[in-house]
Amino acid sequence: MPPIFEKLLKIIPESLFQVGFTVLAVILVAVLLEFIIHLVLGKALNWKHSVPVMLIAPAALGLIFLLIIPIGYEAYLAFTNMAAKEPQFTNPAFGFDQLLINLSNIFNQPILRDEFFFPIFLRTILWTAIQVTFHVGGGLALALLLNRDLKFKGIYRTFLVIPWAVPNVVAVLAWLGEFNYQYGMFNNILRSIGLVPIQWFSDWFWNLVAMNIVNIWLGIPFMMVILLGGLQSIPRDFYEAAEIDGANAWQQFKNVTLPMLQPVMSPAIVLGVIWTFNNFNVPFFISLVPNRFSVTQSLWFCGGFCLRDLCDLDGCFYHTIPGFWTGKRNGFTKKEEENCPRRSSGRGGLIHGN
């Protein structure tokens, strides 16, 4: 048997056991919690609201341990000078002055090697604006086409939803090969028509274009599905009345379709802005730089936990508190960066711009 299959046969049962044990433990804790609440509130105290409390308690417990406690711990870290080195790691200083230092470091010190806060923030705004515009425009155009009487409409809809159904990381890695300088689809097309191939990963502008292409392809299906549902909920009577009044296609779209779509479109756009602003997978994988981010930087990826460099714990720390960001940089020296194989790998992406 090939070694790879031997490893799979060993890893898969262990993984299934760990997942199954975790799920079983969660179920047992939830059942035990509900049983205790039922005995105390329902039987002993005979409280009429014991059943709602019993049903809500497991979810509330999960939110406390998975959300409230981590956010509270990050709020505590924002008031400290904790770093992944001694003595700050085991005995960090705590105080309001440390909070002010952390806040000032965001704007006064590089947070990603040579990058400062505002250039990163503005690139993230640009990235979000481009993505949401194309997502809404492309999704609305496809939704309008699918809302018409077409043959094989179900087949078209199935194929158009595939980018959204495929796991995000798998889709991005598949696209990664299409931007290969020598074998990628785009450069092969450019060569076939007599144009110069593009350095997708070494030129910052084309790196940004590649990220936008991939994320637009990934994001349009979601918007299409949402807007198609909204279009199908608009009664035909409005369009018939508009035709009787002499309205052309554009007037019907402007005065009937868009106003009726607004209750559906507005939440979808808000979700699109949030998801795009926090997007990490596409910029990270398309930039091909293991420990650097290109457009949506680690400020937006690291909300709620600390990002540590993969080569050394003495990396960048970012902490968030609801309402403001705090951060601190314990940077690498030039010698440390040269000795780190991940950090000294090929340059590219938007961080260095070459």
Reduce the DSSP state of residue 253 to 3 states and report it. helix
What is the mean predicted confidence (pLDDT) over 209-219? 92
Model confidence at 154, pLDDT cuts 50, 70, 90, reads confident
* Residue type at 78 in one-letter notation: A
Classify residue 353 by its DSSP letter: -
CATH topology of domain 117-282: MetI-like fold (1.10.3720)
CA distance 259 to 261: 5
pLDDT of residue 117: 82
pLDDT of residue 283: 85
| pLDDT tens-digit series, residues 290-331 | 434 444 443 333 333 333 333 333 333 333 333 233 333 333
CA distance 166 to 172: 10
For the chain, the residue count is 354
Model confidence at 166, pLDDT cuts 50, 70, 90, reads confident
Taking each helix axis from N to C end, the angle separating 117-146 and 96-108, rounded to the nearest 10 degrees, works out to 70
What is the mean predicted confidence (pLDDT) over 202-229? 90
CA distance 156 to 328: 50
| pLDDT tens-digit series, residues 185-210 | 999 999 999 999 998 888 888 888 99
pLDDT of residue 60: 92
Q: What is the CA 197 to chain-centroid distance, rounded?
A: 30
Q: What is the CA 305 to chain-centroid distance, rounded?
A: 15
CA distance 20 to 312: 33
Contact between 106 and 329 under an 8 Å Cβ cutoff? The reply is no
What is the mean predicted confidence (pLDDT) over 76-95? 79
Domain boundaries, given as residue ranges, for the chain: 3-78, 117-282
pTM: 0.66
85 vs 70, higher pLDDT: 70
Count Cα neighbours of 85 within 13 Å in the Cβ-side half-sphere: 10
Mark out the alpha helices in the chain (DSSP H runs).
Answer: 3-37, 50-63, 69-78, 96-108, 117-146, 153-165, 168-178, 185-192, 204-232, 236-244, 249-252, 258-277, 281-287, 298-301, 334-339, 349-352
